[in-house]
Amino acid sequence: MPDRPRAHVCRTAGLTTPETKDSLHERDFHEWARAQAAALRAAGEGRAVALDWENLAEEIESLGRSDRREIRERFETIVGHLLKLRQGVNDLPREVWRGALARARDGIEALLEKSPGLRRHLPELAELARGRGERAARRGLVACGDFSLAKQPGPHTLDQLLSDGWPDQPRPG
């Protein structure tokens, strides 16, 4: 995409004023976000304001991607720790792994409460996380001096990834 000036559109008057590449969005994201939030509130009250529509749209899209990425990363943690619990023989780190599992599951639950529409993406995100989680488990076990991890396929259904149970003990309930 060629370098071209970005435009601000005045919502009520339909005016366009070019802004150079050295925009507030580029120089100070925090101040740009505060200014855009104030402008959106003013526009909601019917006042004419200039909004940075292109960057606003990009940042809103980025927020959705951020939540998806966070869920995928939490699935990576879950996959890795479930695999270590299932196949590792070293007893020392097991409680640490269980704690990390609980925090990752709680984090996914919190994200889904905030954005229930992400629930339909869980199978895809869990599958994307599987390979990285398995590799992390292998590295983690080797780092603990546990070389017992077989090259078995990764663990678990989506329900097992999100449940409160551990593979080395019966599931609650």
- 38-62 pLDDT, tens digit per residue, is 999 998 998 888 889 999 999 888 8
**Highest mean pLDDT (candidates 61-70, 134-143, 151-160):** 61-70
Residue 146: how many other CB atoms lie within 10 Å: 17
Q: How many domains does the chain have?
A: 2
67 — pLDDT class (breaks 50, 70, 90):
very high
* Interatomic CA distance for residues 32 and 22, integer angstroms: 12
Please check whether residues 84 and 47 belong to one and the same domain.
no
Quote the domain boundaries for residue 28.
6-51
pTM of the model: 0.69
Q: What is the pLDDT of residues 12-27, one digit of tens each?
A: 333 334 444 468 888 8
Looking at the fold, whether 16 and 94 belong to one and the same domain comes out as no
Residue 59 lies in a domain: no
